[in-house]
Amino acid sequence: MKLRIYHNRIWLLAFMVGFFVTCQSEEKKSEKTMDMGEEFRLLGYENPTISWDLNNFNSIVGYGQPIDHIPYTDIIGGENITTISIQNGALVEFSLAKFPRLEILNLKGNKLKVIISMENSKNLNHIDLSENRLGSIPEISGLYTLNNLKELDLSGNFLPMLDPSFDKLDNLKVLKLGNNKIIHFPLVLLKMKSLEEVDLSYNSLTKIPEKLEKKDNLKYLDVTGNDLEINEVEQLRKMLPNTTVIF
* Mean pLDDT across 30-47: 65
Question: DSSP of 158-185, one letter per residue?
Answer: ------GGGGG-TT--EEE--SS---S-
Pairing of strands 220-222, 197-199: parallel
Q: Collapsing DSSP states into helix, strand and coil, what is residue 3?
A: helix
Cβ contact 214:192 at 8 Å: no
Residue 18 has pLDDT above 80, yes or no: no
Q: How far apart are CA 69 and CA 97, in angstroms?
A: 14
Q: For the whole model, what pTM was predicted?
A: 0.84
Question: Letter for the amino acid at 51?
Answer: S
How confident is residue 16, by pLDDT bands cut at 50, 70 and 90? very low
> CA-to-CA distance for 29 and 132, rounded, in angstroms?
33
Summarize the confidence of residues 124-139 as an average pLDDT: 96
User: CB–CB of 118/143 below 8 Å?
Assistant: yes
In a 3-state reduction of DSSP, which class is residue 94? strand
Amino acid at 90: A
List b or e across 14-48, with b for residues whose CB sees 16 or more CB atoms inside 10 angstroms: eeeeeeeeeeeeeeeeeeeebebeeeeebbbeeee
Q: Cβ distance 123 to 145 under 8 Å?
A: no
Looking at residue 3, its pLDDT comes to 45
- Asked whether 35 and 57 are in contact (CB, 8 A), the reply is no
pLDDT average, residue stretch 83-88: 96
pLDDT of res. 34: 84
